[in-house]
A and B are shown apart, each in its own frame.
Chain A
Amino acid sequence: MKIKLLSLATLLLGSNLALAQGSMSFRFSEVCLVDPADSCKTSSYLDEYGQQSSWIEIENSSYGTHDLRGCYITNNRKALDKTLSVPERIALMSPIVSGDARTTLTAKQRIVFFTDGHVNRGTLHTNFCLDPEGENFIALFDGNAKTLIDSLTIPQGTLKSGQSFSLVPDNEGKMVWAVTEPDEVTPKAPAVGTGHNNKVAEWKEKDPHGFAMAIISMCIVLGCLALLYIFFHIFGWTLNRMAKLARVKAIRKIHEEAERLATMAKQGRETQGIEYENYVAAIGLAMHEYLGGTHDMESGVLTITPHHTSWNNKEDEMLATPLKQQATTHLSNIKTTNE
């Protein structure tokens, strides 16, 4: 029963983790604020209707394909209030409707939602607008409208119209939020200079002859197999040592037994009733069987304990009535002595 419960709990935990892993891999990756009143066309990214508006980019940060459908985006802080019921929460959010293939994001893919307040324009439009001049809060909630996946606050005055707030790697490679100029805004694409082909380019630039690659890789391969070597060398040595110790222990036990038997033999020699030669022969036979491996599994126990039977009972060996001839002879001997 315990095992069944444990298995069930593991399964439930596993399924929960699997669910979480799916939607939790989404995150905001870039936010661009556009002032519709701005006469300068600072952002060249237009929606399907040729209109400019602020937009939010969401990235699938994992290396698997996940669907955003059913999730919610909001710019209302009240949605963080955990006391609200689900319908109350949903009323504060903009749902990402199902049925649009564009919401299925493959590994590292990004999607842009226009925050123009015109949901009638399609799946990629939200029911709220971002304020280009004030503080902006945005949050992404899971399909249950309760689990917060990601949130972001853009302080007032951080961005000018056309600029974006995007996730870029810092010097240590850690992703941080930074302001991006209008000509470096990259909707539906990673920030400039953070593409995936950099590795090859870096190796080509820094290691044109391949020495570094050869040295590092050979060290890793040798190190990996050396670790295996060390483990199995030590393990094999330990096993060998244990086998040797077991042999020494067995030999020591045999010696102890032999000593005990020698003592017994000594005692047996002094004991009347059992002849010394027979005693030694019995011990010899038992030792022979034991060392030759023909003895039974009671290792170390020689089964020659005294065993009384009618064959060796002294009383049984005596006659019930003494022989008459012997008695007469005995009497005549007495008479002769008296005379």
Chain B
Amino acid sequence: MLESTGIMSFIAQKFVDFLSYTGFANLEWGNLIMIAVGAFFIWLAIKKDFEPLLLIPIGLGIILGNIPFKAAGLEIGLYEDNAVLNFFYQGVKLGWYPPLVFLGIGAMTDFSALIANPKLMLIGAAAQFGIFGAYMIALAIGFEPNQAAGIAIIGGADGPTAIFLSSKLAPNLMGAIAVCAYSYMALVPVIQPPLMRLLTTKKERVIKMKPSRSVSETEKILFPIVGLLITTFVVPSGLPLLGMLFFGNLLKESTKTTRLAKTAGSSLNDIVVMLLGLTVGCSTQASEFLTWDTIFIFFLGATAFIIATASGVCFVKIMNLFLSKKNKINPLIGNAGVSAVPMAARISQNIGLEYDSHNYLLMHAMGPNVAGVIGSAVAAGVLLGFLS
């Protein structure tokens, strides 16, 4: 009877249909490679403690984005309209996650070290040469100016800025750029110390810096307002990032909006970081990610980091030529000009302590470190203004 009604063949056909929808039937080598990359990121985050807050969402995102499925209009993929992941991805695509992350950074950052010793701002600016050095190399490799700018911003060591700029200038490379930027940020403790040792003498590494003066409330409140006015008047295209950064900082320093600052720096920031990391990871689908361009991007990202670190350290050495003996700056804080906050500053501290157990550089290094955040946002604004 079952055979006469054809129900068995119907069941068999549907089962075969079902099998054609599974990941196994749609699997490609690229997916497996990317899943392995995602797993490696998660391992790095958990086992090696490399930026777990970033690498775990990105790692899982990479796995999630590379689960193979049949393109049958199921509205599940990141790039499919009406998919939930696509909805989350709009924050990356339209560039509104990065300013929200900057809001959180502003609400968490204490700019006192910078206000107390404002000349440290120049180190943050000098380190941005990594961006433009990488831009020139990217052009030499054969990238278009807009793509080269999107890739070069990795040298700013600022994930949100890299995502913001690449989403505007080189959307097709954004996934690779974002993963590269975050990967190198996690690898700052590996990349920077050898360079810092190479570029400094033992005598320079033990320079003790003058303790910073105390900073008044007025100065702390004025900083975000004046900073916003100066930077955005010069580079209006950096408004989304700089505006939110200084807004977050004003919430913190005004002392009247502690509740808002707390939310911006904790819950809101955590939510955005989760979604940002996950969707950036998801955007690295094998078909888009496993290309020669990605390999070049990783190479250029490393180059940008190296140039940025070297230019920061060398700039301090040049500054020291003009400073009096009591005002000398320890070149070990030059690496902190890249805006990987506070990891780059921690590296300055650790290496400083290796050579003199009483030389605490953390607070001094925080100056160029937060200046680097401003500097990379300004650099992104400049590139956006020139090339968008």
Does any Cβ of A come within 8 Å of B119's Cβ?
Answer: yes
Cα A216 to Cα B135 with chains together (Å) = 13
Interfacial chain A residues near B121, Cβ < 8 Å: 225-226, 228-229, 232
A229: B residues at CB distance < 8 A? 118-119, 121-122
Q: Which residue of A lies closest to B315 (CB)?
A: A222
B133 touches A (CB below 8 Å): yes
B198-244 interface (Cβ within 8 A of A): 213, 216, 218-219, 222-223, 226-227, 230-231, 234-235
Whole-angstrom distance between the Cβ of A199 and the nearest chain B Cβ: 6
B128 touching A218, Cβ below 8 Å:
yes
Q: Are A236 and B115 in contact (CB under 8 A)?
A: yes
Number of interface residues of A (CB under 8 A): 31
The reply to whether the CB of B61 lies closer than 8 angstroms to some CB of chain A is no
The chain B residue sitting closest to A233, CB to CB, is B118
From the candidates B125, B146, B231, name the one contacting A200 in the complex (CB within 8 A). B146
Q: Counting CB contacts under 8 A, is B136 at the interface?
A: yes
Q: Complex formed: what's the CA distance from A236 to B133 in Å?
A: 34
B383 interfacial by beta-carbon distance below 8 Å: yes
Tell whether A217 is near chain B: CB-to-CB under 8 Å.
yes
User: Closest residue to A234 on the B side, CB-wise?
Assistant: B118
Contact of B128 with A221 in the complex, beta carbons under 8 Å: yes
Contacts of B118 in A (CB 8 A): 228-229, 232-233, 236
- CB pair B136–A225 under 8 Å, yes or no, is no
Q: Is the CB of B388 within 8 A of A199?
A: yes
Question: Could you tell me the distance in whole angstroms from the C-beta of B189 to the nearest C-beta in chain A?
Answer: 26
CA distance A226 to B125 in the complex (A): 8
A25 to chain B, nearest CB (A): 19
B78: CB under 8 A from chain A? Answer: no
Which residues of chain A (182-221) have a CB below 8 Å from chain B?
199-200, 203-204, 207-211, 213-214, 216-218, 220-221
The answer to whether B146 and A224 touch across the interface, beta carbons within 8 angstroms, is no
Measured CA separation A214–B114 after assembly (Å): 25
Q: Which of A207, A209, A224, A232 has the most CB of B within 10 A?
A: A224
In the complex the two chains form, is A203's CB within 8 Å of B379's CB? no
For the complex with contacts A221-B375, A232-B226, 5 further pairs of A-B residues with Cβ separation under 8 Å are: A211-B136, A217-B131, A218-B125, A220-B235, A227-B230
Please list 29 pairs of residues, one from A and one from B, whose beta carbons are closer than 8 Å in the complex, sorted by A's number. Answer: A200-B387, A203-B145, A208-B139, A210-B139, A213-B136, A214-B129, A214-B133, A216-B382, A217-B379, A218-B129, A221-B125, A221-B382, A222-B126, A224-B125, A224-B230, A224-B234, A224-B235, A225-B121, A226-B122, A226-B125, A228-B227, A228-B230, A229-B122, A231-B226, A232-B223, A236-B213, A236-B219, A239-B218, A240-B213
